[in-house]
Structure 1
């Protein structure tokens, strides 16, 4: 073969081989393309991505890793929004792991798996809750003082707390803040040591702490002080203080203080019935005025008060009027009238037919208040100050003023009726008595002397029975079961009248003025200075007479009455003689023993007014020495005495008014209230006058000015 031909053949063979190789490669490519889903498309994308969902995690606790489930090739993972703090996603494997540190509300996190041909996504729900709180505690135990604000008590706790609660409920006045767990407030009363469980919780759980708490207290009685006080009077105010659920340490020492200096610092402390009695004194330096504040009582166990008691102090509110004679009236307090049950009205001179001046009630000076003032009272005798004692019955009071008899309402002093004696030829009026709806009064002089009787409701005249007299004045008639008895007579004596006005008798007696008889169930007693005469209540016959050999008649007046004690026991003095030589002449206090017809005992002194009596004790005012005396009925021995507190007190100006708890008595400066147990001055009022206490709890002061009514209940 020619050489050119051989060369051409070799070229043709090479071309054929190349074409075959090309067809093989193309077939492979076609096969590959076919295996990928068809010809003409790019790389495939991942699909069907998922995670276990939803997921709830707790802060501080490592989560169980979450791995994705996915189809197809994935080159990376991403999440939006960012997973909760502490949780991460592995961008290569898609695994979610970590320890959440911050609570996060439930949310959806979109996780995307990326591949060469695209991506796929899944919404994973995740909530991160706070860990349950732990380690709750409070300072324990706690001791608080009732009525004293506590220092806020805060908890110690680990973790987030959304709510605090307590079981059982905290003592009254204390509260637990459900958000902060703080315990605050002012406990109102004592509480024994008790365990309280406080629970701190959130949605994940709770933790509890039991702590002990007690509230100690002192009970103070009364809980508040109210008083009317005459300026310059060292009135004593007594409080009882009792520890509750604790015991005072050592000796209790107390001092008083207030912003206005109403109280003197010194406090007298005396043990009493499981507690203590504290005696506070109103300062005599406090100027007249109305004071309202708290008195702070500092409680210690040593005189220097360097060692406070467990209850270091107690505050007691007070409302005190300090009044002078020229002070403005504190105002009317027209409270509803409610009578004491079983307590008689003040119907005669010194309350009753025995003239004991005793009203069987307990009165509390903290309850006293001014009720009303008025009307003015005129004096019938210029030589005998304040003679016109009043009486009360069924919500009315009756008083003679000038030559008129008035009936007023106790409620507000409004007039009910009046009767004018000025039409008599020789007009005069004397104090009234009242019984069974009838007011009795002796009025007129000389030939126009009568015992008048009026209907209490409308003042209509019931009767007008004639008597005889000269120019005497009389005290209120005495009323007994059989009649009405009054002194009268041209030359002295006693009249007896039936309730309808018929005269029972007239018995001549020693001529003297300004006295009234005493009556019990069987006898009438007439003390005329020279003797005590015992009369029959129906006939007036003198059954016995006990003479006073030391009697001296200087002023022809008695100025009071005898007083009945126990059966057969009668007290008397010639009170009007107190103005003679300082009472040194004819003014002894006498005790008559009716059964033995004798004078048992005699006490020298200067006794200006009728005493009061109850239960074997006579309470009598003595101007020399100046003191109220409590004397034993049996022998006249002095049991105790009270001395008027002001330097200007020089004499007594009223009869003694006695209750179970207090004695009332007027000096020339003030009306004083004396405690029957402590014998201290516990109340005073800057007025001078005669006294009466009605069944409705109204104390009347009848002096030279306006008639004054004081509520005592």
Structure 2
């Protein structure tokens, strides 16, 4: 018979009975000469809970044999409306059941008295009952003011961090029994902590959570209090808090002066070719005057095994650095060669990684990313020994990256599962920030003292270098998009302006129409744009922009202020495409590769003064060694350009 206490039947009956009236009285209907049809133990229940918590109490219900023989089922009605509509029933026999009731979570502080009516129903719809009045369980719920929603360990936050770095704090939160917590958030009136809180792990009511401080630039001691909000769900704000929230946590943060990478001066005093197009401005310019009559052929080197291709080269501390992609029987490998003779100083095998990208060099260190979901890391190596200095995880899918850009001790790169830019501290690999951007690959930011610049197809974006916050967005509605591999970087002019080619996409797609655009940060928009089929990242010096334009199959010199064409040069052989690589600019020459040769063009005569049949990506080190990297053949040729 106590199968009648099944939940679905009872819930539906409660709904029916809530519409009835006149259900008063106390219980029983049976004579004294025979046992009652239903016995409840206890007949009165009381419970004390804190506000916002759920409590429960149980009752044992016993049916007589007469009730078992005559009634259809037992129905329950909560007259006080202080209990949840669902309750648990466990039956050990036809005559015996154990019923557990749960209090509502939204009860206010105070005393709440009610009664549960037990109806002995003679039919399925309970139109008639075995007694004129129900059997009654009375209850009283005492709701007390809530204690703090959780006990936090440690009870105070203390930490030390270098200026500009992000302090991450781990806390344990033991949530009060009965509170259902699904999320956390931070409110900090001093704005020293980020609002978001990460749940690291959970074991019933015990959470391990992670709080992150915002970067603090001013050295010294910073004290205050954060309010940790506990909420019913992962969406956590003031209106979704559980009782006893927020919990206040005092903090003391000690900020020490920042320690940054120190530049390594070159022997010649010239800058190294550290990243894509040489420097964080990506100008491709090396301030030296050369004499073509003194150029000599140096060494050549070929990567061992069957590689996919070599990256462009970067240089520093007497080394030239490249990466080799995985090939048939080979794995992605980073190589550091001695500039003096092309021998391998050291190498690092990355094993079975999805992608090993282009390297950068700065302050005696090599920086390179691997990408491909869980293979995504920022790596750093000592350029002298090859010792690994750090390996910091970040987020990406399967895109490829140009070389990271290094500025003022920080490393900037493309990254993010759905696109963006990262900033890492070069000395430790600590992530400083990530900013979301449109998702493209084969690009790298330009960086100056204040901003980081990116052109991601449909927009030119300027970010605060220290925080990653957007300072400017300029749409580019006229882009002729051809995919997601941009092969570009903004070029900074040093006056709050930048030059970009809005997408090269594929070096084999020679007839792709695109634009050369100058942007002004001060004017928050374009200064000018020129249409063409531009095939190289521009280089710039002394007010002149140089870029290759396949529309006229020529190298072009254009005025920085207006974009007007100043002069042009084309290979004499009409079969040569121009270029397949990049441009390198000095005070008196510009170097470029066609499909047939690498040329040095004199900036005064606008004619070639030197050439070599080797072609590829170019780099010019502080030792005035020109490197021609044939990526597809896996070969590097070195040429000494004596002053």
Q: Same fold (TM over 0.5)?
A: yes
Contact 1:400 1:432 in 2 (8 A): yes
1:379/1:473 Cα in 2 relative to 1: closer, same or farther (>3 Å)? farther
1:686 aligns with 2:613: yes
> Aligned ranges for residues 624-635 of structure 1 at < 5 Å?
624-635=551-562
Q: Secondary structure at the match of 1:604?
A: strand
Q: What is the aligned partner in structure 2 of residue 598 from structure 1? A: 525
1:349 matched to 2:272? The reply is no
Aligned counterparts of 1:565 and 1:494: Cα–Cα separation in 2: 21
Counterpart CA distance in 2 for 1:407 and 1:699 is: 16
In the alignment, the residues of structure 1 paired with residue 524 and residue 541 of structure 2 have an alpha-carbon distance, to the nearest angstrom, of 22
1:544 matches 2:544: no
Q: Deviations over 1:31-73 (max 9, x none)?
A: xxxxxxxxxxxxxxxxxxxxxxxxxxxxxxxxxxxxxxxxxxx
Pair 579,687 (structure 1): closer, same or farther in 2 beyond 3 Å: closer
> Secondary structure of 1:358's match?
coil
CA distance in 2, matches of 1:387, 1:616: 33
In 2: Cα distance, 1:632 partner to 1:671 partner: 25
Cα offset, 1:622, TM superposition: 0.7
What secondary structure, in the 3-state scheme, does the structure 2 residue paired with 1:678 have? Answer: coil
Q: Determine the structure 2 residue equivalent to 1:524.
A: 452
Tell me the equivalent position of 1:389.
312
**Mapped contact 1:663–1:673 kept (Cα < 8 A):** yes
What is the Cα deviation at residue 427 of structure 1?
Answer: 3.1
CA distance in 2, matches of 1:640, 1:560: 23
SS state at 2:277 partner: helix
Aligned equivalents of 2:559, 2:519: Cα separation in 1: 14
CA 1:462–1:554 in structure 2 vs 1: closer, same or farther (change >3 Å)? same
Deviation of residue 579 (structure 1)?
6.3
2:496 corresponds to which of 561, 568, 580: 568
- Name 1:421's counterpart in structure 2: 350
Structure 1 position 489 matched with structure 2 position 412? no
1:168 aligns to what?
none
Residue equivalent to 1:707? 636
Aligned partners of 2:393 and 2:343: how far apart in 1?
31
- Select which of 455, 478, 500 maps to 2:405: 478
Which sections of structure 1, spanning at least 5 residues, go unmatched?
Answer: 1-337
Cα distance between partner residues in 2 of 1:594 and 1:379: 46
The answer to whether the 8 A contact 2:266-2:272 is kept is no
The aligned runs of 1:233-632 (5 Å cut-off) are: 341-376=268-303, 388-402=311-325, 403-423=332-352, 426-499=353-426, 500-577=428-505, 582-585=510-513, 587-632=514-559
Shift of 1:380: 7.4
CA contact (8 A) 1:608 1:623 kept: yes
Alpha carbons 1:395, 1:411 under 8 Å: kept: yes
CA RMSD, aligned part only? 2.0
Secondary structure in structure 1 of the residue aligned to 2:293? helix
Question: Structure 2 matches for 1:195-206, cutoff 5 A?
Answer: none
Query: Do 2:269 and 2:622's aligned partners in 1 also have CA atoms closer than 8 Å?
Result: no
CA distance in 1, matches of 2:304, 2:530: 35
Go from structure 1 to structure 2 and tell me whether the alpha carbon gap of 1:667 and 1:581 turns closer, same or farther (over 3 Å shift): closer
Distance 1:580 1:686, change over 3 A: closer
Q: What secondary structure, in the 3-state scheme, does the structure 2 residue paired with 1:641 have?
A: strand
Q: Distance in 2 between matches of 1:547 and 1:342?
A: 40
Aligned-partner SS, 1:350: coil
2:447 and 2:364 map into 1 onto residues whose CA distance is 19
Does the 8 Å CA contact 2:371/2:397 hold for their aligned counterparts?
A: no
Instruction: Identify if the C-alpha distance between structure 1 residues 467 and 346 changes in structure 2 by more than 3 Å, giving closer, same or farther.
Output: same
Mapped to 2, the partners of 1:636 and 1:563 lie a distance apart of 14
Deviation at 1:566, TM superposition (A): 3.1
Q: Between Structure 1 and Structure 2, whose CA radius of gyration is higher?
A: 1
Is 2:372–2:398's contact at 8 Å kept on the other side of the alignment?
A: yes
Structure 1, residues 670-692: CA drift from partner, whole Å, max 9, x if none?
A: 10110011101111111220000
Distance, in Å, in 2 between the alignment partners of 1:473 and 1:455 is 23
Give, in whole Å, the separation in 2 of the partners of 1:416 and 1:429. 19
Aligned mates of 1:595, 1:578 — CA distance in 2: 32
Q: Matches of residues 658-677 of structure 1 in structure 2 within 5 Å?
A: 658-677=585-604
Matches within 5 A, 1:9-88: none
Q: Is the 8 A contact 2:557 2:566 kept in 1?
A: yes
Structure 1 Cα separation of the partners of residues 512 and 392 of structure 2: 40
- Counterpart contact for 1:691–1:701, Cα < 8 Å: yes
Are the aligned partners of 2:321 and 2:359 in contact in 1 as well (CA < 8 Å)? yes
- Structure 2 Cα separation of the partners of residues 664 and 648 of structure 1: 19
CA distance in 2, matches of 1:539, 1:380: 39
Per-residue CA shift, 1:439-492, capped at 9, x if unaligned?
A: 100113111100000111111111101111111111000001151000011211
Instruction: Spell out, residue by residue over 1:253-273, the C-alpha distance to the aligned partner (whole angstroms, 9 max, x if none).
Output: xxxxxxxxxxxxxxxxxxxxx
Q: Distance in 1 between matches of 2:583 and 2:318?
A: 23
Q: Give me the whole-angstrom Cα distance separating, in 2, the residues matched to 1:548 and 1:596.
A: 15
1:222-246 C-alpha deviation (Å, 9 max, x unpaired):
xxxxxxxxxxxxxxxxxxxxxxxxx
Aligned partner of 2:42 in structure 1 is none
The whole-number CA distance in structure 1 between the counterparts of 2:610 and 2:364 is 34
Higher relative contact order (CA 8 A, sep 6+): 2
Q: CA deviation at 1:595?
A: 0.8
CA displacement, residues 331-357 of structure 1 (integer Å, 9 cap, x when unaligned): xxxxxxx97733111111111000000
1:641 aligns to what?
A: 568
Structure 1, residues 536-561: CA drift from partner, whole Å, max 9, x if none? 11211111111112124321121121
